[in-house]
Chains A and B, each alone.
Chain A
Amino acid sequence: MSVSRRDFLKLTGMTAAGSFLGGSAFLTGCKPSAKLSGTRETTTICPYCGVGCGLIVSTRDGKIVNIEGDPDHPINQGSLCSKGSALFQVGVNKRRLEKVLYRKPYGTSWEEISWKEALSRIARRIKDTRDATFQEKDGEVTVNRTNGIASLGGAALDNEECYALSKFARILGITYLEHQARLCHSSTVAGLAASFGRGIMTNHWIDIKNADVILIMGSNAAENHPISFRWVTRAMEDRGAKLIVVDPRFTRSASLAHVYAPIRPGTDLAFVGGIINYALQHDRIQKEYVVEYTNASYLVHPDFAFHDGLFSDYDPAKRNYGDRKTWAYQLDSKKIPKRDTTLKDPRCVYQLMKAHYSRYTPEKVSAITGCPVETFLKVADLFTSTCKPDKAATILYAMGTTQHTVGTQNVRAYAIIQLLLGNIGVAGGGINAMRGESNVQGSTDHALLFHILPGYHPAPSAKEHPTFEEYLKKNTPQSSDPMSINWWQNRPKYVVSLLKAWFGDAATKKNNFCYDWLPKFSKPSSFLVLFEDMIKGVIKGLFLMGTNPAVGGANANRILQGMEKLDWLVVTDLWETDSSIFWKRPNVNPAAIKTEVFLLPAAASVEKEGSITNSGRWAQWRYKAVNPPGEAKSDLDIIDRILREVQALYKKEGGTFPDPILKCNWNYTEEGEHEPSPHLVAKEINGYTWPDRNQVESFMDLKDDGSTACGNWVYCGSYPGSRKNLMARRNGGDSSNNIGMYPEWSWCWPLNRRIAYNRASVNRKGEPWDPDRWVVKWTGSKWKGDVVDGGPKFGPAEKNPFIMNPEGVGRLFAPGKATTDGPFTEHYEPMESPTQNILNNQKVNPAAVILDTVAGQFGNPAQYPYIATSYRMVEHWQAGAMTRNLPWLTELVPDMFCEISPSLAAAKGIKNGDRVTIFNARGRISAYALVTERIQPLMVNGRPIEMVGMIWHFGPGCAKSGDACNQLTPPIGDANTMIPEYKAFLVDIRKGGE
């Protein structure tokens, strides 16, 4: 019998799904080429961006022979981008670390040490630092916190590793816990959660094919999420979909667009505010959807007001909106929000927003953004044409949206327009936050962030949650509305199960399930603040797990200053990163830097087993193809070894508050094995009964009495039986609605729901808005199609669709504490702007936090006249360690460069290919100049404004080095999440490198 390659891979797929029985062995079948004859094949998922493409790794004699796209994978169908195609060189590369490298304090070079020695020294540093800096009380409140240790990174780790790291950090009492998600999509989570109750990409990659209009804004999807364009081009070809690209530069995405609109960096809110106004003025809204499924009809507090850029409740002295009491609905006697479904009441959300956005006229939009009026109108008309029930538009966005002082509000603006058009919950619609790291969705889910616990529970704060009772009370919303499912009322079950998963038998009802063993933070310590505290000397030791803040952090010079203050640093990575060699970077004297550095060799994605979660929340299982090089180990193995070493020290010597360390539920090694098993971790994440450890099937099974343990309730159902790993599924069939959901391919949280808020895709009778593209439908007694939101027992007329919001509807007006900076969006200028704000008299977001320590580091347009923005390109990835070490990619983009317009080049005497210096109040960098027609000056408030665009992939280390763009980016963050404003700042440029 001859077996085709596709058939063969299907066979292997079946093996893959069952392979947790005994490791990851695959069949060897017929191969089309001598190159692959006799090879063993394993499947994997790409470790670069968040699309989650499948690949096949072919190995012979324990060595990688070939890596190529997996033809059966429904997202990429065999195709890859340049990075994915180069993955072979991550596995086969002379620069990979094979031994532990150690740099002694004030040392000038690395020395090799054994794992044994490294682990023993690291454990010693951890214990000494923890014991010396542990804080038991803050005033009256038990905080049990280690002030002297911080941990960064995790978006490149597997889910099981992220979860273990999250648990490890809390066990040690660490609250300085951050990672890439803070810097890329923290404002997404805040903005989407404020609107819909959840901070997730609403739809998924394949679903782009169902769109009629695709708006790419604040993103360059063709470069940074290249396989998304497989589905963009599919929609264009199959449905005649129109592509709109709004971007300061004419990008590779723009090259395929029907409409390209230029925009000045940092003016997205003016642009989208203009579209919202256009929709409201021209009645381009889906009325039935707006009345039924949004809060348009809700009446707002009589004292809520807006004047000259400020909402009511503003306190100028504190630069914040305090308790935001007026940002509220009017309630009736049963505490249910009052409504006017005719939308005529002047206090209803619809009327308030109509007045609010009326100021965003096309002319104003054009003057602020620099986009010509007619181009803006073309975009507004095309995008709002999807207000018809059977039309859908999707928004694809990324860092161009999120990395601003108004990042959260930028995302809110998308939510508002998409709710008005009825584009949320439907196929081909949604707001698609494109994740840039392969597992940044998972690392966020597992809460490698100071402010949350796994599953999006607020992290305990000394001020807000002094006791467990207070914690549960504050975080368990109530709703009297019979239409509301109010899912977060279940929170206590999930939190208790989490504590049980962490502290096992020690967690009892009597001791509040060890709530006080969790460290409580006393002040928000997001990425920027963390480094300020490092400079102050508070933080003594730092872990970097697959992260490179010396390149990726805003105001990178200050980050390096912080690192120089550390007593010790533990870096885990595939190779020397720019951050790991901060002590020997150009122009510093290593002999003057005290930091003791451990560089631990890590296994790459194809050298270990585990799952990662893509942007569309598909948790996909990867297999081990080969052993890691030399003595390299998986991150899970490393975390496990460090913790066990620390446990041994505490056991032997005692120490400060050893309980969480010694009594935690931590045993991931199968009997007779020497390494921790990712399956055991995955099973704990899924959850099981306590103490008999039977896997639970869904979060409906979780209890708040200690009889269940669950590491992360949103992953409940991913591993619902001891041999049932649904993340490993490879069934390539589509579902009955035939919209590309592939429900039996891997597993998707929550509960394998592929399109979030899918109850909003039908009317109150349960009929799909578009019968040809239905997601779910109600047969009169049950739901068909996707896993319906809020459980199958409620019909469409019984409950509201946005189950995570207490009111059950999507929020045009974000009430109460949903945001820190306004229930509606408002345009403010970036912190560093080349012009004044012509919409109101507030310059920058009035609620943005300006840190005292860096207040002197901002510049003005008289000193630095050009607006700068940073971005990525397809050939490189993030801070560059995983691409600047690959010859096939550095061949394509070998150097740091900037892009400027021919007019700016002429004014400065710069020719294409010249070396230039770009500088501002925070630093100066050298780069090559790419003089390009793709960048043009924009007319802003009647004056042409030039722009300098820079890639940020380069740094002082790796095979190809270059200056880091982030030496220039500003240390100011979004008002809600402190995501730095990487995307709009001021610089000057001159001919000649440094």
Chain B
Amino acid sequence: MKGKAFLVDTTKCSGCRSCQVACKQWNNLPAEETKFFAGPEYTNPAHLSAITFNHVKFFTLDRSNPAMPVWTIMHKKCYHCEEANCMKVCPQEAIGKLDGWTVIDQSKCVGCAACTHACVYDVPHVLFQNLSRYGSEQPLIKDKSYKCHACTVNKRDIPACAYHCPTGALTYGNREELLAKARARLNAIRGQYPHASIYGDTQFGGLRVITILKEHPEKYGLPMQPKPVDAEKSEAIRDTYHLLSLFTFGLPSLKRVAYRISKSLVG
């Protein structure tokens, strides 16, 4: 698979969360109101959202080898699947590919949340309120779906998250080169992490975020063989939805209900 990609190396991540803030800064995204830690350890916010395009997940410390406890800290964002579920299910065809990246065209999005339902990684989210972009006049529009666009909006040479990573835990480059680098790295760290793994080579036709993990991917909630949506079924859902959406009076909340009903009808 040609084109660009990210490499997340959890064996180099110090959890400084620069990626998380740099993304908000470059994209002028507002902060979320949080309390204590919403996720395990320092994870905050607990999930990606329409205004949080990437976050750092802190897993609980694994003390199974007391002499060498393992604390995994992992940058997570949209994996930009080659054959993305969200793209396949979107009834508006608002999700497409741009230089290999999976991007949402908000001008086409109606906020039905089909993408949210279809993504196994819990990435795209519909914004439920109008927000202004921090320090700028530009709005973030209610009832549109948002997620990481790999800095293809306000394009820059290296996406803000990877550009700002201090330790080399998050890098950006040609996918094929990064994969080769990941494999070499895997050999180098096997002594310290015997069950180390690479995630993202094959899933959904290949992801554009490759992750080097200290253990098996499943341990971090990353399915080895995630299920692509059934093409036939999703077409049927889409047809039903289009029918039902005639009665939603352009209201996004009803469109979301229509999508849910269509999904359960096609079952």
Contacts and interface: CB of A to CB of B under 8 A. Distances in A.
Interface of A: 5, 32-35, 64, 66-69, 76, 78-82, 84-86, 88-89, 92, 222-223, 226-227, 229-230, 232-234, 237, 250, 252-256, 258, 260, 375, 873-875, 887-895, 897, 913, 928, 930, 932-934
Nearest to A84: B18
A46 B21 CA distance: 15
Contacts of A82: 16-18, 20-21
Contacts of A35: 26, 154, 156
Nearest to A51: B166
A255 B71 contact: yes
A887 B72 CA distance: 26
B166 A252 contact: no
B14 A89 contact: no
B160 interface: yes
Interface range, B side = 35 or more
Contacts of B69: 250, 260, 933-934
B163 A233 contact: no
8 contacts: A68-B22, A81-B17, A250-B71, A254-B71, A256-B14, A258-B192, A892-B17, A892-B21
Given A82-B20, A233-B12, A932-B60, 20 more contacts: A35-B154, A68-B22, A68-B160, A68-B164, A79-B166, A81-B18, A86-B21, A222-B15, A226-B16, A233-B168, A252-B15, A255-B14, A256-B14, A887-B134, A888-B134, A893-B42, A930-B36, A930-B41, A932-B61, A933-B69
B191 to A, nearest CB: 10
A34 B154 CA distance: 6
A92 B167 CA distance: 28
Contact of B157 (A5, A258, A891): A5
A889 B21 contact: yes
A207 B41 CA distance: 32
B157 A86 contact: no
Interface stretch (B27-35, B103-111, B242-250): B27-35
Point out which of A78, A86, A250 has the most chain B C-beta atoms below 10 A from its C-beta.
Answer: A86
Contacts of B60: 932-933
B214 to A, nearest CB: 10
A252 to B, nearest CB: 5
B124 interface: no
Given A888-B21, A933-B63, A230 B154 contact: no
- The B interface, classified by DSSP as helix, strand, loop or mixed, is loop
Given A67-B25, A260-B69, A875 B17 contact: yes
Interface of B: 11-12, 14-18, 20-22, 24-26, 30-37, 41-42, 44-45, 60-61, 63, 67-69, 71-73, 134-135, 154-157, 160, 163-168, 192
Contacts of B72: 255
A89 B21 CA distance: 11
A895 B166 contact: no
B155 A85 contact: no
Point out which of B67, B69, B192 has the most chain A C-beta atoms below 10 A from its C-beta.
Answer: B69
B9 to A, nearest CB: 10
B135 A92 contact: yes
A230 B167 contact: yes
Contacts of A892: 17, 20-21, 34, 42, 44
B26 A69 contact: no
Contacts of B67: 375
Nearest to A262: B69
A81 B155 CA distance: 22
A131 to B, nearest CB: 48
A256 B71 CA distance: 8
B157 A76 contact: no
A934 B163 contact: no
Contact of A68 (B25, B33, B134, B155): B25
Given A82-B21, A932-B61, A874 B16 contact: yes
Nearest to B158: A78
A243 to B, nearest CB: 11
A887 B45 CA distance: 13
A256 B154 CA distance: 34
Contacts of A895: 35-36
Nearest to A260: B69
A800 B2 CA distance: 60
A453 to B, nearest CB: 37
A222 B16 contact: yes
A894 B30 contact: no
Contacts of B44: 891-894
A895 B42 CA distance: 11
Contact of A887 (B14, B30, B73, B164): B30
Contact of B15 (A255, A258, A932): A255
A80 B14 contact: no
Contacts of A67: 25
Contacts of A80: 18, 22, 164, 166
Nearest to B163: A78
B30 A32 contact: no
B22 A897 contact: no
A68 B156 CA distance: 12
Nearest to B69: A250
Contacts of B14: 222-223, 226, 229, 252-253, 255-256
A180 B72 CA distance: 34
Contacts of A89: 134-135
8 closest A-B pairs by CB: A887-B31, A222-B14, A891-B31, A85-B21, A933-B61, A255-B71, A92-B135, A79-B166
A252 B73 contact: yes
A110 B22 CA distance: 36
A842 to B, nearest CB: 34
Contact of B12 (A76, A226, A256): A256
A252 B194 CA distance: 21
A85 B168 CA distance: 16
B175 to A, nearest CB: 21
Given A66-B25, A892-B44, A79 B165 contact: yes
Point out which of B18, B31, B166 has the most chain A C-beta atoms below 10 A from its C-beta.
Answer: B166
B88 to A, nearest CB: 31
Nearest to B30: A887
B75 to A, nearest CB: 12
Contact of B167 (A85, A229, A887): A229
Nearest to B52: A891
Contacts of A86: 21, 25
A237 to B, nearest CB: 8
Contact of A890 (B31, B37, B42, B156): B31
A32 B36 contact: no
Nearest to A252: B15
